[in-house]
Protein backbone atom coordinates (compact mmCIF):
# COMPACT_ATOMS: atom_id res chain seq x y z
CA UNK A 1 0.00 0.00 0.00
CA UNK A 2 1.11 3.53 -0.72
CA UNK A 3 0.24 6.70 1.11
CA UNK A 4 0.96 10.40 0.78
CA UNK A 5 2.49 12.08 3.81
CA UNK A 6 1.97 15.70 4.78
CA UNK A 7 4.62 17.46 6.84
CA UNK A 8 3.98 20.79 8.57
CA UNK A 9 7.24 22.67 8.02
CA UNK A 10 6.56 25.00 10.94
CA UNK A 11 6.54 22.38 13.69
CA UNK A 12 9.54 22.15 16.01
CA UNK A 13 10.64 18.76 14.66
CA UNK A 14 12.61 20.49 11.90
CA UNK A 15 14.71 22.36 14.47
CA UNK A 16 16.36 19.11 15.51
CA UNK A 17 20.06 19.03 14.61
CA UNK A 18 21.02 15.96 12.60
CA UNK A 19 24.66 14.97 12.63
CA UNK A 20 26.10 12.54 10.12
CA UNK A 21 28.13 9.93 12.02
CA UNK A 22 31.18 10.43 9.82
CA UNK A 23 32.90 13.82 9.66
CA UNK A 24 34.20 13.07 6.16
CA UNK A 25 30.62 13.13 4.78
CA UNK A 26 29.21 16.53 3.84
CA UNK A 27 25.68 17.53 2.83
CA UNK A 28 25.66 20.11 0.01
CA UNK A 29 23.13 21.76 -2.22
CA UNK A 30 23.85 20.75 -5.81
CA UNK A 31 25.34 23.27 -8.20
CA UNK A 32 24.06 23.07 -11.79
CA UNK A 33 27.45 22.03 -13.25
CA UNK A 34 27.29 18.85 -11.14
CA UNK A 35 23.87 17.77 -12.42
CA UNK A 36 25.16 15.11 -14.82
CA UNK A 37 27.22 13.47 -12.08
CA UNK A 38 24.16 13.40 -9.78
CA UNK A 39 21.96 11.85 -12.49
CA UNK A 40 24.63 9.20 -13.21
CA UNK A 41 24.83 8.34 -9.50
CA UNK A 42 21.05 7.98 -9.20
CA UNK A 43 20.78 5.87 -12.37
CA UNK A 44 23.56 3.50 -11.33
CA UNK A 45 22.59 3.22 -7.67
CA UNK A 46 18.78 3.41 -7.85
CA UNK A 47 16.53 3.70 -10.93
CA UNK A 48 16.22 5.61 -14.18
CA UNK A 49 12.80 6.74 -12.99
CA UNK A 50 14.30 8.43 -9.94
CA UNK A 51 17.01 9.94 -12.13
CA UNK A 52 14.35 11.40 -14.44
CA UNK A 53 12.45 12.78 -11.46
CA UNK A 54 15.64 14.30 -10.03
CA UNK A 55 16.41 16.03 -13.33
CA UNK A 56 13.44 18.34 -12.75
CA UNK A 57 14.94 19.40 -9.41
CA UNK A 58 18.45 19.68 -10.81
CA UNK A 59 17.50 21.93 -13.72
CA UNK A 60 16.00 24.74 -11.64
CA UNK A 61 18.03 27.98 -11.61
CA UNK A 62 18.71 27.19 -7.96
CA UNK A 63 18.66 23.36 -7.90
CA UNK A 64 16.28 21.85 -5.37
CA UNK A 65 18.49 18.86 -4.75
CA UNK A 66 20.96 18.03 -2.00
CA UNK A 67 23.73 15.47 -2.06
CA UNK A 68 25.85 13.66 0.48
CA UNK A 69 29.50 13.59 -0.55
CA UNK A 70 32.46 11.59 0.75
CA UNK A 71 35.93 11.87 -0.84
CA UNK A 72 34.41 13.79 -3.78
CA UNK A 73 31.98 10.91 -4.47
CA UNK A 74 28.21 11.22 -4.23
CA UNK A 75 26.77 8.72 -1.77
CA UNK A 76 23.23 10.05 -1.34
CA UNK A 77 20.70 12.58 -2.58
CA UNK A 78 17.37 14.20 -1.77
CA UNK A 79 15.21 16.43 -3.98
CA UNK A 80 12.11 18.55 -3.75
CA UNK A 81 9.91 20.27 -6.33
CA UNK A 82 10.82 17.45 -8.70
CA UNK A 83 7.58 15.71 -9.70
CA UNK A 84 5.34 18.50 -8.52
CA UNK A 85 5.60 21.75 -6.57
CA UNK A 86 5.57 21.20 -2.84
CA UNK A 87 6.59 17.55 -3.09
CA UNK A 88 9.65 16.15 -1.32
CA UNK A 89 11.52 13.29 -2.97
CA UNK A 90 13.01 11.22 -4.26
CA UNK A 91 15.65 10.46 -1.65
CA UNK A 92 18.26 7.72 -1.53
CA UNK A 93 21.53 6.76 0.13
CA UNK A 94 24.00 4.18 -1.14
CA UNK A 95 23.34 1.08 1.00
CA UNK A 96 27.01 0.87 1.95
CA UNK A 97 26.50 3.96 4.10
CA UNK A 98 23.38 2.94 6.01
CA UNK A 99 23.24 3.77 9.71
CA UNK A 100 25.21 7.03 9.52
CA UNK A 101 22.18 9.40 9.62
CA UNK A 102 22.81 10.47 6.02
CA UNK A 103 19.18 9.97 5.01
CA UNK A 104 18.02 12.02 7.98
CA UNK A 105 20.50 14.81 7.21
CA UNK A 106 19.40 14.92 3.56
CA UNK A 107 15.71 14.86 4.55
CA UNK A 108 16.07 17.71 7.02
CA UNK A 109 18.26 19.78 4.65
CA UNK A 110 15.65 19.57 1.90
CA UNK A 111 12.66 20.21 4.19
CA UNK A 112 14.36 23.24 5.75
CA UNK A 113 15.08 24.55 2.24
CA UNK A 114 11.40 24.09 1.36
CA UNK A 115 10.45 26.11 4.42
CA UNK A 116 12.96 28.82 3.43
CA UNK A 117 11.42 28.83 -0.06
CA UNK A 118 8.07 29.74 1.49
CA UNK A 119 6.31 26.40 1.75
CA UNK A 120 4.18 25.76 4.84
CA UNK A 121 3.76 22.06 4.14
CA UNK A 122 5.63 19.39 2.21
CA UNK A 123 4.02 16.38 0.58
CA UNK A 124 5.95 13.14 0.46
CA UNK A 125 4.13 11.22 -2.23
CA UNK A 126 3.50 7.51 -2.75
CA UNK A 127 5.38 6.26 0.29
CA UNK A 128 5.39 2.47 0.60
CA UNK A 129 4.78 0.61 3.85
CA UNK A 130 8.44 -0.47 3.73
CA UNK A 131 9.71 3.14 3.80
CA UNK A 132 7.02 4.66 6.03
CA UNK A 133 8.87 3.87 9.33
CA UNK A 134 11.82 6.06 8.25
CA UNK A 135 9.54 9.08 7.95
CA UNK A 136 7.54 8.24 11.09
CA UNK A 137 10.77 8.02 13.11
CA UNK A 138 11.94 11.44 11.96
CA UNK A 139 8.85 13.60 11.40
CA UNK A 140 5.42 14.45 12.71
CA UNK A 141 3.17 13.40 9.83
CA UNK A 142 -0.36 13.44 8.59
CA UNK A 143 -0.88 10.20 6.66
CA UNK A 144 -3.25 10.37 3.73
CA UNK A 145 -4.24 6.99 2.31
CA UNK A 146 -3.51 7.36 -1.37
CA UNK A 147 -6.52 6.96 -3.65
CA UNK A 148 -5.43 9.22 -6.49
CA UNK A 149 -2.10 10.95 -6.85
CA UNK A 150 -0.03 13.16 -9.09
CA UNK A 151 1.95 9.98 -9.88
CA UNK A 152 -1.13 8.45 -11.55
CA UNK A 153 -0.51 10.72 -14.56
CA UNK A 154 2.66 8.76 -15.29
CA UNK A 155 0.82 5.60 -16.33
> pLDDT tens digits, residue range 140-152?
999 988 666 665 6
Residue 65 has pLDDT above 60, yes or no: yes
Alpha-carbon dihedral angle through residues 101, 51, 63, 11, given to the nearest 10 degrees: -40
Domains, the chain, ranges and CATH?
Answer: 2-154 (3.40.630.30)
- pLDDT at site 147: 65
Q: What is the pTM of this model?
A: 0.93
pLDDT band per the 50, 70, 90 thresholds, residue 124: very high
CA pair distance 3, 128, nearest whole angstrom: 7
Across all residues in the chain, what is the average pLDDT?
Answer: 92
Query: What is the percentage of the chain residues whose pLDDT exceeds 70?
Result: 94
Look at residue 145 in the predicted model and tell me its pLDDT: 81
Percent over 90 (pLDDT), the chain:
82
Q: Which residues of 4-18 are buried (b: 16+ CB within 10 A; e: fewer)?
A: bbebebeeeebeeee
CA 129 to chain centre: 17
Task: Identify the three-state secondary structure at position 154.
Answer: helix
Amino acid sequence: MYQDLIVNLYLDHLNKEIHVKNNDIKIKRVLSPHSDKVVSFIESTFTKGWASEAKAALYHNNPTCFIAVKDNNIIGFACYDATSKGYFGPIGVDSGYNGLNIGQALLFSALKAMKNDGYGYAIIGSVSDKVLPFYQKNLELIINKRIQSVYDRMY
